[in-house]
Amino acid sequence: RFCKLRFKKVKETPYRRLCSTKKILTVNGKFPGPTLRVHQGDKIFVKVYNKGRHNITIHWHGVNQPRNPWSDGPEYITQCPIQPGGKFKQKIIFSTEEGTIWWHAHSDWSRATVHGAIIVYPKNGTNYPFPNPHKEVPIILGEWWKKDVSRVLEGFLKTGGEPNTSDALTINGQPGDLYECSKSETFKLLVDQNKTYLLRIVNAALNTIFFFSVAKHNLTVVGSDGGYTKQLTTEYITISPGQTMDALLTTDQNNSTLYYMAARAYSSGTNVSFDNTTSTAILQYKRNDAVRSQSSTTPTLLFPYLPDYNDTKSAFNFITRLRSLADNDHPINVPLNITTKLISAVSVNTFPCPQNSSSCEGPNGTRLAASMNNISFVTPSLSILDAYYYRINGVFQKDFPSVPPFLFNFTSEYLPLELELPKRGTKVKILDYGSTVEVVFQGTNLVAGIDHPMHLHGYSFYVVGYGFGNFHEERDKLSYNLVDPPMLNTVIVPKNGWTTIRFTATNPGVWFMHCHLERHLTWGMETVFVVKNRKNDPKAKLLPRPSDMPSC
Ligand code: C2O
Ligand code: CU
């Protein structure tokens, strides 16, 4: 099925939040942006018109885009940005993903407001692996910034310090009634009693990992990142920027009470500032007029349980219980014989203050940075995909290290100072088509030990293991789940801990891998996999380069 959509007009639109109005970048005037609804196996075209004042690109987060990195979207990785006044027609190929995923801008910090949900329904004629819900509701978690986000970005790039935190957390674009001037616009979900609702939850925030829960109502998670999971009933969820979760909620409670849905930050970093406010929405049962007129008093409003902001144990208690559905209709295929192994230390670092610079507000007069295996990624000025495709030299180097610079006690309080200073480079990792890849992300305690939600474009991967402390292969591989590991595209690496993922490199192209905390991405916590194009193999060769690709 090929359908054509013309729904992407990126433009400035005035929005009022927290008592004041500002212009934000939107798609078709909407914040959050429009929900895209498709079926598994669809191919669609989206025309993106840039009517704003800044460069823009759009990424289809969680869409694997087989053989089609051309439309993936990250700027200077797979395409040059669409300039103001320009346009680009993207072809989105939905292959295996099913459930909730999302789309967002992938250019500087514009995804703060340029994002929306994608709902991938089962193929026509097939069903959910759970009873059909009464209704489906997108729940998009995000942030609101009083300042223009492009100013926030400019600001901390200039000072070298931490960026400002957001001024409000949001649920479906609304801070909710705990914030000034926000009460009347609080997102309200009106429900019928004794029905099941499917919440399609997206974390679209730039810098906030969320805990989310609903008063008196458990959530039953049935999917994550566009794949089904075994049903997991829980009081709260942990969801990082980039992740999506499908959760069933049954309306089996007293219909005269109001229930808060609440979202607040999980942040394990010490001395790392974060937005410590709480966003709320309201779950309200529909009642007939007779009942309503009897009760003159205002109904009670119940607040749900949420773990403390730094409760790493609760965060991972939930995360590590996710399992692939892995039934006959949804078989899994975890690579068992690994041909390519990587261990990647993911760190926050510092650069020394350049001479004659007064703006070095990082720790001890430095500038903050971030790295993978001590390489702080430098964004090139040509797209890496074009450089690979046309064999243009000098845009990237092929020597991204497969292991950290030297073995060290990643999680110790005292770490060698030289590790605090990463090297700059546009280093990529080349993968043979069909190789079976294992990546161990090792969190470190450099500068600020904190969780990192690592995201890979072009693939879903199996998360086969997690742990705290230093990774020891001999010991830790014994704990791997090779039976029903969750298949995700974004996974949280615990503070001072590790996470192992596996995938088979059967999607040729140039695929970005990065921390989905926007400030860490800005600081350089990213690299690129180049999966070799096999020109003589129809299954393994890139689709033709679209002729209307924007140029740099
Ligand atoms: Cu959702 Cu490269 O990102
Ligand atoms: Cu990070």
Residue matched to tokens 């909710």:
176
> pLDDT at residue 231 above 70?
yes
Pairing of strands 497-504, 436-443: antiparallel
Residue recorded with tokens 């298949």: 487
Q: Name the band, by pLDDT with cuts 50, 70 and 90, for residue 430.
A: very high
Distance (Å) from CA 90 to ligand 1 centroid? 16
Does residue 495's CB lie within 6 angstroms of at least one atom of ligand 1? no
Ligand 1 contacts CB of residue 59 (under 6 A): yes
Asked if the model's pLDDT at residue 498 lies above 60, the reply is yes
pLDDT in tens, 258-291: 999 999 999 988 888 899 999 999 999 998 655 5
pLDDT at residue 105 is higher than 70: yes
- Tokens representing 306 are 């949420």
Average pLDDT over residues 17-24: 96
Tens-digit pLDDT profile for residues 292-351: 555 556 788 999 999 999 999 999 999 999 999 999 999 999 999 999 999 999 999 999
pLDDT at 293: 56
pLDDT over 90 at 448, yes or no = no
Cα 372 to ligand 2 centroid, rounded to whole Å: 10
Q: Is the pLDDT of residue 6 over 90?
A: no
Q: Tens digit of pLDDT for each residue in 517-546?
A: 999 999 999 999 999 999 999 999 999 999
Q: Is 104 in the pocket of ligand 1 (CB under 6 A)?
A: yes
> Which ligand is nearest the CA of 242, by number?
1
Residue 294 phi/psi, 5-degree rounding, is: -65, -40
3 pLDDT more than 60 = no
Q: Which residue has the tokens 């430095």?
A: 366
Cα(453) to centroid of ligand 2, in Å?
Answer: 6
pLDDT at 295: 59
467 lines ligand 1 (CB under 6 A): no
**pLDDT at residue 425 above 90?**
yes
Q: Is 179 in the pocket of ligand 1 (CB under 6 A)?
A: no
ipTM summary value:
0.98
In this structure, the number of other CB atoms found within 10 A of the CB of residue 411 comes to 19
- Whether 1 shows a pLDDT value over 70: the answer reads no
Cβ of 514 closer than 6 Å to ligand 1, yes or no, is: yes
Q: One-letter amino acid identity for 419?
A: L
User: In this structure, is the dihedral angle defined by the CA atoms of residues 40, 43, 44 and 45, taken in order, positive or negative?
Assistant: positive
The whole-angstrom separation of Cα 438 and Cα 341 is 5
Tokens standing for 339? 């041909």
Q: Are 456 and 513 in contact (CB under 8 A)?
A: yes
- Which atom of ligand 1 is found nearest the CA of 104? 1
Rounded to the nearest angstrom, the distance between the alpha carbon of 454 and the centre of ligand 2 is 7
* Separation CA 516–CA 492 (nearest Å): 9
Residue 84 sits at φ, ψ, to 5 deg, of -50, 130
**Ligand minimally distant from the alpha carbon of residue 241:** 1
Q: Which ligand is nearest to the CA of 77?
A: 1
Q: Which ligand is nearest to the CA of 492?
A: 2
pLDDT at 413: 77
Q: What is the model's pLDDT at position 469?
A: 93
Closest-approaching ligand to the CA atom of 519: 2
Res. 409 pLDDT band, cuts 50 70 90: confident
Mapping DSSP to helix (H, G, I), strand (E, B) and coil, where does residue 471 land? coil
DSSP string computed for 102-168: EEEE-STTGGGTSEEEEEEEPPTT---SSPPPSEEEEEEEEEE-SS-HHHHHHHHHHH-SPPPPPSE
Label residue 311 exposed, middle or buried (CB < 10 Å: 0-12, 13-18, 19+).
middle
> Looking at ligand 1, which residue's alpha carbon is closest to its atom 3?
61
Q: Is 520 in the pocket of ligand 1 (CB under 6 A)?
A: no
Position in ligand 1 atom list of the atom nearest CA 457: 2
For the cut 60, the answer to whether the pLDDT of residue 7 exceeds it is no
The pLDDT-based confidence of 203 (bands split at 50, 70, 90) is very high
Residue 375: name the closest of 505, 513, 237 by CA.
513
Given a cut of 60, whether residue 166 has pLDDT beyond it is: yes
Instruction: Report the separation in Å between the CA atom of 524 and the middle of ligand 2, taken as the mean of its atom positions.
Output: 9
Task: Give the three-class secondary structure for 482.
Answer: coil
> Which atom number of ligand 1 is nearest to the Cα of residue 111?
1
Query: Residue 356: which pLDDT band, with cuts at 50, 70 and 90?
Result: confident
Q: State residue 415's pLDDT score.
A: 77
Cα angle, residue 22 at apex, residues 16 and 28 outer, rounded to 5°: 80
Q: What is the band of 355 on the pLDDT scale with cuts at 50, 70, 90? A: confident
Q: If you average pLDDT over residues 403-418, what whole number do you get?
A: 80
**Average pLDDT of span 372-398:** 97
User: How confident is the model over 175-190, as pLDDT tens digits?
Assistant: 999 999 999 999 999 9
d(CA 219, CA 198): 10
Distance 516 CA to ligand 2 centre (A): 7
Compute the distance between CA of residue 522 and CA of residue 379 in angstroms, rounded to an integer.
9
Å from CA of 452 to ligand 2 middle: 4
Cα–Cα distance for residue pair 301/459, rounded to 1 Å: 42
Cα(59)–Cα(514) distance, integer angstroms: 14
Which ligand 1 atom sits nearest the alpha carbon of residue 490?
1
C-alpha 225 to ligand 2 mean position (Å): 19
Q: Does ligand 1 have an atom closer than 6 angstroms to the CB of 455?
A: yes
The DSSP output letter for 174 is: B
Do 269 and 448 meet the contact criterion of CB atoms below 8 Å apart?
Answer: yes
Index of the ligand 1 atom closest to the CA of residue 61: 1
pLDDT at 294: 59
Task: Judge if the beta carbon of residue 115 lies within 6 A of ligand 1.
Answer: no
Percent of the chain with pLDDT over 70: 97
The answer to whether 113 and 24 are in contact (CB under 8 A) is yes
The pLDDT value recorded for residue 197 is 98
Q: Which ligand is nearest to the CA of 514?
A: 1
The Cβ of residue 155 has, within 10 Å, a number of other Cβ atoms equal to 13
The DSSP secondary-structure symbol of 434 reads T
The pTM score is 0.96
Q: Which residue segments constitute the domains of the chain, with CATH numbers given? A: 1-127 (2.60.40.420), 128-329 (2.60.40.420), 340-531 (2.60.40.420)
Q: Which of 139, 104, 56 is nearest to 518 (CA)?
A: 104
